[in-house]
Amino acid sequence: MHRFQGIRGSHAVVETARQLELDTILYSGNEPWVRDCLAMIAVRVVYAGSKLPLSHQSKNSALWEICGVRGEVDVEEHCHRPMDRLLERQEAVQKALAKKHLRNGHVVLYDITSSYFEGAYEQSDVVLFGYNRDYKSGHEQVVLGLLCDERGWPVGIELFAGNTQDAQTVIDKIQELRREYGLSEVTFVGDRGMITQANAQKLEKVQGLQTLSALTHRQMFELLERKVIQLELFDEKKIAEVTDPDKPVQRYCLCRNPDTQARETATRQRLLELTR
């Protein structure tokens, strides 16, 4: 990173963060550890590196200077310890972000991802083997649940053990929305691995809660057999809305995705060839 480019890029990112009041949401802009956190946040845009290389960039970039850090940057003092303080503030920070971005009646997006680890973590109760979304077989991992507003802006994140299944986190997350963020009316959006049939049944009687998800193949075939939907209704341009007469509160939006069709056709063809 050239120093001239670092000054312009770092200053723009840090000032944007301050205009969004990110520093005051973290705690107080005058606290040294907050300035360190602001530098680490900005560096994800300016210099996509880990904490140790970041601490070595003070000679090449004005980022630390702009954030108010003077002198030599130490990875333990300016990165690791501030992250411990940030963890202590996580609940308060997320409440502040929720107050700013979430309102009753809003759509809330929720998804799960995983992050794998190299090495051995025998003493850890969260770094475990599980379904690896990065296709890194043989590696232990942790699972992360990300909560966003309807624009996709992150509001909260939670760490789960590496063997946690998607659907296991949904009920508690919806309760958190109501208990911690005070949302009595919300539309919760999750993929078909989260809004499972078992979870849907548990959530049916929750007042003010709507869910939005995708159907499994089995569920679609069941609707076809009951003649609730017809194949002719699936169109690439027009979305057809269908109500199930047995469950009037449920509405299905039908569309045809040519990319998904091409991908599944290719998969089917490959399996047929392997079988032959």
* Helix pair angle (32-46, 81-88), 10° resolution: 100
Examine the domain organization and report whether 22 and 41 are in the same domain.
Answer: yes
Examine the domain organization and report whether 70 and 100 are in the same domain.
Answer: no
Q: Give residues with Cβ within 8 angstroms of 197, minimum separation 6.
A: 219
Give residue-wise pLDDT tens across range 47-97: 777 788 777 776 777 778 888 777 788 889 988 999 999 999 999 999 999
Examine the domain organization and report whether 189 and 152 are in the same domain.
Answer: yes
By residue range, what is the domain housing residue 232? Answer: 215-276
Give the CATH number, domain containing residue 140. 3.30.420
Using the 3D structure, point to which of 88, 110, 136 is the last residue of a domain.
88
Examine the domain organization and report whether 60 and 105 are in the same domain.
Answer: no
The pLDDT of residue 98: 92
Burial track 111-133 (b if 16+ CB lie within 10 A, e otherwise): ebebbbeeeeeeeeeebbebebe
| Residue 246 pLDDT exceeds 60 | yes
Examine the domain organization and report whether 243 and 188 are in the same domain.
Answer: no
| Residue 5 pLDDT exceeds 60 | no
List the structure tokens of 207.
């007042």
Examine the domain organization and report whether 49 and 162 are in the same domain.
Answer: no
Dihedral angle of Cα 98, 110, 165, 200, to the nearest 10 degrees: 100
Please state, in angstroms and rounded to a whole number, the distance separating the CA atoms of residues 212 and 229: 18
| Residue 77 contacts residue 158 (beta carbons within 8 Å) | no
29 or 49: which carries more pLDDT confidence? 49
Examine the domain organization and report whether 166 and 196 are in the same domain.
Answer: yes
The pTM is what?
A: 0.81
Examine the domain organization and report whether 240 and 209 are in the same domain.
Answer: no
Based on the structure, what is the number of domains in the chain? 3
The pLDDT of residue 80: 92
Examine the domain organization and report whether 97 and 185 are in the same domain.
Answer: yes
Examine the domain organization and report whether 132 and 202 are in the same domain.
Answer: yes
Examine the domain organization and report whether 179 and 222 are in the same domain.
Answer: no
Cα 227 → chain centroid: 36
The pLDDT of residue 40: 86
Cα 156 → chain centroid: 8
